[in-house]
């Protein structure tokens, strides 16, 4: 069942997670969106984002704007929606997918969350998009991600909606 299903993705996979939970939040018991492009209408205005217009299109083109708008995670967040427990991650020095994508997405989800499931952002300091990260940072990050996923799915399957294993 959905409350036992977690979704996780990194970079373009983070975009997929964001699009999936904003379009069908009822399908997931937990979500991990790592370093994802969340603002599909403005991505090309940040650092290297201009180079992705050949992949995604550009919101400067009217037809492409409408297509991008249909799945842009940031622009499909709805007030009064019960989003699954969600962990959004970013690196404070990510020059590929600027941290602003994750900051805005997490803040917008937190602002409209109607349920009691947590929306958490994990900001890795002195880190970029992920390549070249020291092993100790990788271990810490994976431990946090797996602990969040485990606690969220356990809470979701118990129907509790909280991350306290004691209750």
pLDDT digits (tens, 9 = 90+) for 27-76: 999 999 998 899 979 877 787 778 778 888 899 999 999 999 999 999 99
35 in a domain, yes or no?
A: yes
pTM value > 0.85: yes
Domain membership flag for residue 40: yes
pLDDT given at position 87: 98
Q: What is the pLDDT of residue 49?
A: 72
Question: Residue written as tokens 């690196």?
Answer: 91
Percent of the chain's residues with pLDDT above 70: 86
Residue 75 lies in a domain: yes
Instruction: Name the percent of the chain lying above pLDDT 90.
Output: 54
pLDDT of residue 167: 43
pLDDT of 94 reads: 67
Q: Which of 59, 101, 129, 156 is catalytic?
A: 129
Q: What secondary structure letter does DSSP report for 4? A: G
> Which residues does 88 contact at the CB level (< 8 Å), separation at least 6?
33, 34, 36, 102, 105, 106, 109, 119, 120, 121, 122
Does any domain span residue 53?
A: yes
Q: Which domain holds residue 154?
A: 2-158
Query: How many CA atoms are closer than 13 Å to the CA of 97, on its beta-carbon side?
Result: 25
What pLDDT, on a 0 to 100 scale, did the predictor assign at position 159? 57
Residue 14 has pLDDT above 70, yes or no: yes
3-class secondary-structure state, position 8: strand
Examine the residue annotation and report whether 129 is marked as an active-site residue of this protein. Answer: yes
pLDDT in tens, 83-133: 999 999 998 766 767 788 889 999 999 999 998 999 999 988 666 666 667
164 is a domain residue: no
The one catalytic residue among 8, 11, 58, 75: 11
Above 60 in pLDDT, residue 163? no
**CB contact burial 11-26 (16+ within 10 A = b; e otherwise):** bebbbbbbbbbbeebe
Is residue 11 among the annotated active site residues?
Answer: yes
**Which CATH number belongs to the domain containing residue 120 in this structure?**
3.40.50.1820
The residue that leads in pLDDT, 20 or 36, is 20
DSSP codes joined into one string, 23-50? H-GGG-SEEEEES----TTTGGGSGGGG
Domain count, the chain: 1
Examine residue 166 and state whether it is found in any structural domain, yes or no.
no
- Is residue 7 a part of any domain in this protein? yes
Within-domain flag for 167: no
């Amino acid at each position: 069942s959905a409350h036992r299903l977690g979704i996780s993705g990194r970079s373009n996979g983070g975009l997929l997670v964001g699009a999936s939970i904003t379009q069908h939040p009822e399908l997931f018991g937990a979500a991990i969106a790592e370093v994802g492009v969340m603002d599909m209408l403005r991505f090309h205005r940040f650092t290297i984002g201009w180079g992705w217009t050949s992949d995604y299109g550009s919101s400067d083109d009217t037809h492409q704007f409408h297509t991008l708008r249909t799945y842009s995670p940031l622009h499909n967040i709805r007030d009064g929606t019960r989003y699954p427990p969600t962990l959004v991650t970013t690196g404070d020095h990510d020059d590929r997918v600027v941290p602003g994508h994750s900051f805005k997405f997490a803040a917008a989800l937190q602002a409209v969350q109607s349920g009691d499931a947590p929306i958490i952002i994990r900001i890795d300091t002195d880190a970029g998009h992920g390549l070249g990260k020291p092993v100790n940072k990788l271990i810490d990050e994976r431990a946090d991600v797996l602990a969040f996923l485990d606690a969220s799915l356990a809470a979701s399957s118990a129907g509790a909606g909280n991350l306290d294993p004691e209750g």
